[in-house]
Amino acid sequence: MATKTELSVSVGTPAEEAGLKPFKVTLNIRRYNPETGDEAFWQDFDVELYATDRVLDALHKIKWEQDGSLAFRRSCAHGVCGSDAMRINGRNRLACKTLIKDLDITQPIYVEAIKGLPLEKDLIVDMEPFFESFREVQPFLVSNTPPAGGRERLQSIAERERFDDTTKCILCAACTTSCPVFWTDGQYFGPAAIVNAHRFIFDSRDENAAARLEILNDKEGVWRCRTTFNCTDACPRGIQVTKAIAEVKAAVVRGRP
């Protein structure tokens, strides 16, 4: 632990203070610059990292110390905002939740933008098609009846439990952009939209489940899911995405949640 130091003394990172030795890691990053009009290409960077560092720290080091033109999104840096989903060694992960020690660093770490959405620059994609599908499933509580006694809408623990898993979504798009059906023509609503529909379809306070089920009973809705389980594997929040989709399928067949 860092002891109290005078302000003038420069304090290292906790790893440095603990006397840990950094090691060299190679990152292979897929770069793309729309302004040159050139094709995307792979570029490798060597960075000194600690085992406790994350891929996001490596990207920061590259951007701050080696190449300031590297473009990527991040905001919270702690797995809450969902802005830094990327393909790390071929799997969709949040850069801020992927520890270097969990990767095989005897080989370069491959980092590229998530697939299936239009690439804007380096690791940044246009998320608009993703959010468009999200908005289409009406991801908000709809109720036309006033709450009992004009107070809050009560819900039992069991009723809340029903959709607990899908409330955890941070809209990072890791699931949708890991889905091979979404990659083909981008018409499929995608796992994230279905997860967020699930969150309201099974909410006992909501009264618009029928409309959402109708929206997802589309040719591009739940029926395009092939239960590949890529989405469940990709979700940084551990949401059982494929299970949620299966529950929505069953609800569409029943015609009610």
Partner 1 sequence: MSTVIENPRSPYTRPARKKRRFNIEKWAWLFMRGSGVILVFLIFGHLFFNLMLGEGIRAIDFGFVGGKLANPFWQWWDVLMLWLALIHGGNGMRTVINDYVTGQKLRPFILWTLFAIVAILIVLGTLVTFTFDPCPITENIELLPSFCNA
Tell me how far, at minimum, the Cβ of 81 lies from ligand FES, in Å: 3
Partner from ligand SF4, partner 1, ligand FES, none contacting 192, C-beta within 5 to 8 A by type: ligand SF4
Interactions with ligand SF4, residue window 44-83 (CB under 6 A)? 82
CB nearer ligand FES, residue 86 or residue 201: 86
Q: Does residue 221 touch partner 1 according to CB under 8 A?
A: yes
Distance CA 22, CA 17 (A): 12
Q: Does residue 40 touch ligand FES according to CB under 6 A?
A: no
Interactions with partner 1, residue window 7-46 (CB under 8 A)? 34-35
Distance CA 53, CA 140 (A): 37
Distance CA 163, CA 201 (A): 9
CA triple 232-142-199, angle to 5 deg = 15
Partner from ligand SF4, ligand FES, partner 1, none contacting 44, C-beta within 5 to 8 A by type: none
Interactions with ligand SF4, residue window 149-188 (CB under 6 A)? 169-175
Structure tokens at 225: 């899911």
Backbone angles phi, psi at 174, to 5 degrees: -60, -40
CB nearer ligand FES, residue 83 or residue 242: 83
Q: Does residue 234 touch ligand SF4 according to CB under 6 A?
A: yes
User: Which residues does residue 41 pair with via DSSP β-bridges, in sequence order?
Assistant: 31
Tell which residue, 159, 131, 154, has the closest CA to residue 143. 154
User: Which residues does residue 91 pair with via DSSP β-bridges, in sequence order?
Assistant: 88
Distance CA 248, CA 212 (A): 10
Q: Does residue 116 touch partner 1 according to CB under 8 A?
A: no
Question: How far are the Cα atoms of 70, 200, 203, 254 from residue 143, in angstroms, in the given order?
Answer: 46, 11, 11, 21
Tell me how far, at minimum, the Cβ of 34 lies from partner 1, in Å: 6
Site string for partner 1, 160-199 (x = CB under 8 A): --------------------xx--xxxx------------
Cα 109 from chain centre = 19
Partner from partner 1, ligand FES, ligand SF4, none contacting 75, C-beta within 5 to 8 A by type: ligand FES
Tell me how far, at minimum, the Cβ of 233 lies from ligand FES, in Å: 18
Question: How far are the Cα atoms of 73, 113, 124, 142 from residue 120, in angstroms, in the given order?
Answer: 11, 9, 6, 35
**CB count, 10 Å around CB of 31?**
18
Residues lying near ligand SF4 in the complex (CB under 6 A): 82, 169-175, 191-192, 195, 234-237, 239, 241
Residues lying near partner 1 in the complex (CB under 8 A): 34-35, 118, 126, 128-129, 132, 180-181, 184-187, 217-221, 223-224, 226, 249, 252-253
